[in-house]
């Protein structure tokens, strides 16, 4: 029964993460003055894209999201709601960023552990965890015609890699699954939020660009 509880909790958290990621995708569409369809598609690829890349790379096809209608309904709902309610959502953007950090924390951990399940070593598994967390946002930005925001000095991918690495390493111990997930997610979330609050940025290149 506990197991079922854990599983249900994970699915709910997963859907919440997808929902928030999808909202950020739809917001990009609205701000580019794209149409309702674009908002829904960008919502979908932002919410599901990272997991799709991971599943295709580890050979877990078709991706889980294509076998469970809830995983498709959630981003579509997020896209349509955001399209029509975007001024209100813009006012609570602080919360969107917070939830987005929670989504990132969860995705990097579950993504890394799924890669371990498929037999990958610790280093590639941690990398795939990071890819699960950041992949949707990268596809969103490429489709919207802008350089991925994660490349522009924001501390976003490093926390995801750290959280994934913690989860992969602890997973090799005898710790209970829930501890592994919480430790990994807390690492990612804490680092990301600290970075947001303190305005930490990744280092930029020094010296003249040798064009």
Binding site for its own copies (CB under 8 A): 27, 29-39, 41-42, 52, 56-59, 61-63, 66-67, 69, 72, 83, 86-87, 89-91, 93, 118-121, 123-124, 127-128, 138, 142-148, 150-153, 157-158, 201-205, 207-211
Question: Cβ 39 to its own copies, closest distance in Å?
Answer: 7
CB 189 within 8 A of CB 163: yes
Q: Which is nearer to its own copies, 142 or 175 (CB)?
A: 142
Question: Cβ 78 to its own copies, closest distance in Å?
Answer: 15
Question: Cβ 134 to its own copies, closest distance in Å?
Answer: 9
Question: Cβ 13 to its own copies, closest distance in Å?
Answer: 22
Residues forming a β-bridge with 154: 201
Q: Which is nearer to its own copies, 36 or 176 (CB)?
A: 36
CB 93 within 8 A of CB 82: no
CB 144 within 8 A of CB 35: no
Q: Which is nearer to its own copies, 1 or 67 (CB)?
A: 67
Q: Which is nearer to its own copies, 124 or 190 (CB)?
A: 124
Strands (E), the chain: none
Q: Which is nearer to its own copies, 121 or 176 (CB)?
A: 121
Q: Which two tokens stand for residue 17?
A: 């993460």
Question: Cβ 151 to its own copies, closest distance in Å?
Answer: 4
The Cα 187–Cα 183 span in angstroms is 6
Measured CA to CA in angstroms, residue 186 lies from 29, 101, 106, 183, 197 at distances of: 30, 10, 9, 5, 16
In 3D space, the residue among 123, 121, 110, 135 whose CA is nearest the CA of residue 52 turns out to be 135
In 3D space, the residue among 15, 17, 21 whose CA is nearest the CA of residue 44 turns out to be 21
């Amino acid at each position: 029964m506990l197991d079922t509880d854990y599983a249900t909790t994970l699915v709910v958290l997963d859907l919440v993460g997808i929902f928030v990621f999808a909202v950020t995708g739809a917001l990009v569409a609205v701000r580019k003055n794209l149409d309702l369809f674009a908002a829904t598609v960008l919502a979908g690829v932002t919410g599901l894209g990272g997991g799709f890349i991971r599943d295709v790379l580890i050979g877990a096809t078709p991706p889980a999201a294509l076998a469970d209608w809830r995983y498709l309904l959630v981003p579509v709902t997020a896209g349509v709601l955001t399209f029509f309610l975007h001024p209100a959502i813009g006012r609570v953007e602080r919360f969107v960023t917070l939830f987005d950090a929670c989504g990132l924390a969860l995705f990097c951990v579950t993504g890394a552990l799924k890669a371990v399940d498929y037999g990958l070593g610790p280093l590639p598994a941690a990398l795939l965890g990071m890819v699960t967390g950041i992949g949707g946002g990268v596809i969103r930005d490429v489709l919207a015609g802008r350089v991925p925001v994660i490349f522009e000095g924001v501390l976003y991918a490093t926390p995801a890699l750290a959280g994934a690495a913690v989860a992969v390493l602890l997973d090799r111990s005898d710790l209970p699954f829930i501890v592994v997930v919480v430790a990994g997610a807390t690492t990612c979330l804490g680092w990301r939020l600290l970075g947001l609050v303190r305005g930490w940025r990744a280092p930029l290149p020094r010296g003249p660009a040798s064009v």
